[in-house]
Amino acid sequence: MKSLLAAIAICVPAVLLAQDDPAAAQATCTAPDGWEDILAQNPRFVVFGEGHGSNESPDFVARLVCAEAQRGQRVLLAIEHAAAQNAALQQAWAGPREGLIAALPELGWRGREDGVASEAMLRLVLSAHALKQAGAAVDIVAFNGTRDEAQYRRFANLPAQGPHEAAQAENIAEAAAIAPYDRVIVLVGNVHAQITPFAPSGGGEAFEPMSMRLAAYGSVISLNMLDAGGTSWSCRLKPDARRVPDQPVTDEMIRCAAYEDKGTATYDRPAFIAIGPSAAAAAAGRFHGVFWVGAITASPPAFPAEPRQ
């Protein structure tokens, strides 16, 4: 256990907390309240549906990965990055921290500004990698999208976004089958995390989100992120952008930056997880429960296309 804490405090001092503060390192390896209720149900997959672009959601998941590693559990961390790049990610994951950092920009991280390749996501990946380097049984998989043409063709008959969601689920399940994992922890956008069909508000065919498909491979608990508001990094239409009917939105119409967020809940307590009937009601029946992260702060891209001024 001490070696795992040392990995966090020494290998990645800027990733979580202070380099010379063992108590702080211990705190980052303590699961939030409510995690024990998840463990009591022993799900195969625990899915965290986030709003991209905050510091708090990836840091929340990093705490859980560390807590499980401290307990001696074998953990698979599933991140919403390109499945087509997963083989290259595995090569980088097997090597030193410096090599992993050098590889990530070429694996779809460079210039991605939608919050999925944020500084906080980099912290999550590096903290998990530090645990692995220290001897913990922690692995990673990039599961987003179809990994090849053959996989796409298998799911091509599904409506709307269905092929994408089905591929996500299969990619996670196949990675989870490689080793006897005690816990598979998935961080993904909260549309993919829903356990009921998703119908776009603007019309169009409904489809089965990833978490619905994932249930075919094993038990799932899916949690929706709740926060007190603050800021998050995202890409939105510029105030003066004028959309033309039946025309796509262009890059020139979009601005990626830290934006104010109103928040989705108010709790006067630290981060926690809640499942069960009352929590499911709070999640509007679309999730099994919720995870509360408190006030949020924007996390900019880890590898921006152009250096920030």
- Please state, in angstroms and rounded to a whole number, the distance separating the CA atoms of residues 15 and 22: 14
Return the domain boundaries, the chain.
31-238+250-292
- Please state, in angstroms and rounded to a whole number, the distance separating the CA atoms of residues 292 and 60: 9
Contact 184, 64 (CB under 8 A): no
Q: Provide the strand spans (E) within 8-159.
A: 45-50, 75-82, 138-144
How do 230-237 and 254-261 pair as beta strands? antiparallel
pLDDT at 10: 36
Residue 60 burial by Cβ neighbours in a 10 Å radius (0-12, 13-18, 19+): buried
* pTM of the complete model beyond 0.85: yes
31-238+250-292: which CATH architecture? Answer: 3-Layer(aba) Sandwich (3.40)
pLDDT (tens place) for every residue of the chain, 309 residues total: 455 555 544 344 344 433 344 444 556 799 999 999 999 999 999 999 999 999 999 999 999 999 999 999 999 999 999 999 999 999 999 999 999 999 999 999 999 999 999 999 999 999 999 999 999 999 999 999 999 999 999 999 999 999 999 999 999 999 999 999 999 999 999 999 999 999 887 778 899 999 999 999 999 999 999 999 999 999 999 888 777 777 787 888 899 999 999 998 999 999 999 998 777 666 678 999 999 999 999 999 999 987 655
- Please state, in angstroms and rounded to a whole number, the distance separating the CA atoms of residues 193 and 114: 17
pLDDT at 248: 82
pLDDT at 7: 53
